[in-house]
C-alpha cells in the first residue's frame, strides 16, 4: 500500500479511500464528489458514506473496534481505517480542530499511513478492518 496525501483541509477520508482503492487523491475525490451528499469540502466525509463507498468498490468493512492501551492498533491483524487525534508536543490532543482525523493502518508494513503527513504521535481511538 502506498500513502496518498490529502490535498484539502478535510480531505483525510478521501485520501484513505484512495489508499485502499489504489486511486490518486484527485480520482477518488472526483468519484466521491459525484455522489450526491457523500462529501462536503467544508467538513469532509463521515464514516458511513466512506464505508459505503468502499463496499461498493468490493471491500468488506468490519464492525468498529475500540482501541486503547490494552488493545493498541498494532494488535489489529489486517488493514484498517482508523479514527483518532494527532497529539501535541506534550501529549495533549491538538486543538487546531475539534474534529478527529482519519488514517490507514497498514498491517503488512506495521505503520500508520497519515494522509496529512503529520509526524507527531497519533492517538488511535477506534478502527474498522477493511479487506
Weakest mean pLDDT among 10-14, 25-29, 97-101: 97-101
Average pLDDT over all residues of the chain: 86
Return the domain boundaries, the chain.
12-130
What is 12-130's CATH topology?
Cathepsin B; Chain A (3.90.70)
What is the pTM (predicted TM-score) of this model?
0.87
Residue 108 and residue 50: Cα distance in Å, rounded? Answer: 22
First to last CA, the chain: 13
* DSSP label at residue 28: H
pLDDT of 37 reads: 62
Residue 14 and residue 49: Cα distance in Å, rounded? Answer: 11
Residues 23-56 pLDDT 10s: 999 999 888 877 766 677 777 788 888 898 899 9
Amino acid at each position: 500500500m502506498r500513502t496518498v496525501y490529502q490535498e484539502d483541509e478535510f480531505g483525510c477520508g478521501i485520501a484513505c479511500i484512495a489508499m485502499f482503492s489504489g486511486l490518486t487523491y484527485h480520482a477518488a475525490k472526483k468519484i466521491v464528489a459525484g455522489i450526491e451528499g457523500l462529501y462536503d469540502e467544508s467538513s469532509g466525509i463521515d464514516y458511513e458514506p466512506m464505508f459505503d463507498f468502499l463496499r461498493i468498490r468490493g471491500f468488506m468493512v468490519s464492525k468498529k473496534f475500540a482501541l486503547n492501551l490494552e488493545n493498541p492498533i498494532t494488535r489489529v491483524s489486517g488493514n484498517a481505517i482508523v479514527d483518532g487525534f494527532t497529539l501535541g508536543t506534550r501529549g495533549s490532543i491538538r486543538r487546531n480542530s475539534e474534529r478527529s482525523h482519519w488514517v490507514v493502518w497498514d498491517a503488512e508494513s506495521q505503520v500508520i499511513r497519515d494522509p496529512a503527513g503529520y509526524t507527531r504521535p497519533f492517538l488511535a481511538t477506534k478502527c474498522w478492518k477493511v479487506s
